[in-house]
Amino acid sequence: MGLEEKLPSGVLLTTVEGVAGYMRKASFWPATFGLACCAIEMMTTGGPKYDLARFGMEVFRASPRQADLMIVAGRVSQKMAPVLRQIYDQMPEPKWVLAMGVCASSGGMFNNYAIVQGVDHIVPVDMYLPGCPPRPEMLIDAILKLHDQVQNTKLGVNRLAEIEANEATALTALPTSQMKGLLR
């Protein structure tokens, strides 16, 4: 007979990390960072038909200091890359990034000098969402998958070590223009 059977009804046993993860996943505050056609689909997701408010994402924040989720929707130009990084750096910890669309994920059809070939060369990305442009249902599905990832996120020094490792990997990533002919 375990401890659960001896407790009165209505008593829940869990860990601090479990409660913190549940609260974080239920209260994402996304930053507005729409750059191209994917931004229209992102705005549609916040409308009455799809209603992101069901998932605790009531308002898209205009200030990065009030946001903990950056949805990069669309292609990122070389001139916009430092601005993207500055906004990411201004967001408080913990923070997550969702690359929405094939242009944000890999540069899309724009394989030239002006477009960053994947936003993961600038900021660490937690979730990639393919499509050109991805439908609002796909964005909601990616957000729900990110909810699962956030709920299982560690706290404290383990989280800081994970963030530093992800950023180091993203900053040392080989550009896709140099990956031609490589088979992995």
Residue with tokens 């040392």, as numbered in its chain: 172
**CB half-sphere exposure, 94, CA atoms < 13 A:** 24
Residues 6+ positions from 35 with CB-CB distance below 8 Å:
72, 73, 74, 75, 76, 80, 104
| 171 alpha-carbon distance from chain centroid | 17
The rounded distance, in Å, linking the Cα atoms of 168 and 184 is 21
Q: Are 150 and 21 in contact (CB under 8 A)?
A: yes
Residue 132 assigned ligand-binding role? yes
Residue 133 assigned ligand-binding role? no
62 burial level (CB within 10 Å; 0-12, 13-18, 19+): exposed
Residue 103 assigned ligand-binding role? yes
Q: Are 102 and 131 in contact (CB under 8 A)?
A: yes
Residue 38 assigned ligand-binding role? yes
Which amino acids are annotated as binding site for [4Fe-4S] cluster, given as ranges? 37-38, 103, 132
Which amino acids are annotated as binding site, given as ranges? 37-38, 103, 132
